[in-house]
């Protein structure tokens, strides 16, 4: 789907927040950092479905190291614009993460509850290392104390769609990220 200046879902209007070019450049920069940190290793990248799929795909294409991929699906939003705070496991890991270098790829971190849940779950599997990469991080919205190892963009606390992020499962397939107009 080509980049439009605005998008409409139901009667909500969205405007471009992060362009396709900005996404490509930041993704390449993150891939270079990860390739340097994991030189000589083959980490396993775990994409958090559905939102992280486009970012994960573009990220691993830019790596200069070997890697594996796996997916997990959790939900805290449903069809709402605000996280419920309740984490539901929908699809569990397929790979054995014991003794592996694990890099979890998220689309967005706001409350941090999903990351905290995944951190506890993966640490119980005793990986060799565990890092988190998030395309977006909302300012001032964390409800738990945690650090994200790699962040693409820090954004204001606004509702966003596009490039994997959705509203009612729509507009994931855009090349840019859009924020709700006020």
128-176 tens-digit pLDDT: 999 999 999 999 888 888 889 999 999 999 999 999 999 988 899 999 9
Which sequence spans correspond to the domains of the chain? 20-154
Instruction: Give Dmax over CA atoms of the chain in angstroms.
Output: 50
Q: What is the pLDDT of residue 145?
A: 85
Q: Helix, strand or coil for residue 43?
A: coil
Report the chain's terminal Cα–Cα distance, integer Å: 24
Please give the positions annotated as active site.
Answer: 110
Q: Which two tokens stand for residue 167?
A: 């509203």
Is the model's pLDDT at 1 over the cut of 70?
Answer: no
Fold of 20-154: Rossmann fold (3.40.50)
Tokens of 105: 């790829």
Contact 135, 108 (CB under 8 A): yes
- Residue 84: pLDDT band (50, 70, 90) is low
Instruction: Give start and end residues of each alpha helix (H) in 45-138.
Output: 53-61, 113-123
Computed over every residue of the chain, the mean pLDDT equals 91
């Amino acid at each position: 789907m080509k980049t439009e200046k605005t998008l409409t879902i139901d009667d909500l209007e969205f405007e471009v927040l992060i362009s396709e070019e900005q996404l490509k450049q930041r993704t390449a920069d993150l891939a270079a950092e990860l390739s340097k940190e994991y030189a000589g290793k083959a980490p396993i990248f775990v994409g958090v479905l559905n939102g992280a799929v486009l970012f994960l795909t573009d990220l691993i294409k830019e790596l200069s190291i070997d890697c594996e991929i796996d997916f997990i699906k959790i939900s805290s939003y449903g069809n709402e614009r605000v996280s419920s705070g309740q984490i539901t496991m929908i699809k569990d890991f397929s790979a054995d993460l014991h003794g592996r270098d694990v890099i979890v790829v998220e689309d967005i971190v706001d409350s941090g509850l999903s990351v905290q849940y995944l951190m506890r779950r993966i640490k119980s599997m005793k990986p060799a290392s565990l890092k988190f990469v998030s395309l977006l991080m909302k300012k001032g919205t964390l409800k738990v104390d945690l650090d994200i190892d790699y962040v693409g963009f820090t954004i204001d606390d606004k509702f966003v769609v596009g490039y994997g992020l959705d509203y009612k499962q729509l507009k994931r397939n855009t090349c840019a990220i859009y924020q709700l107009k006020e």
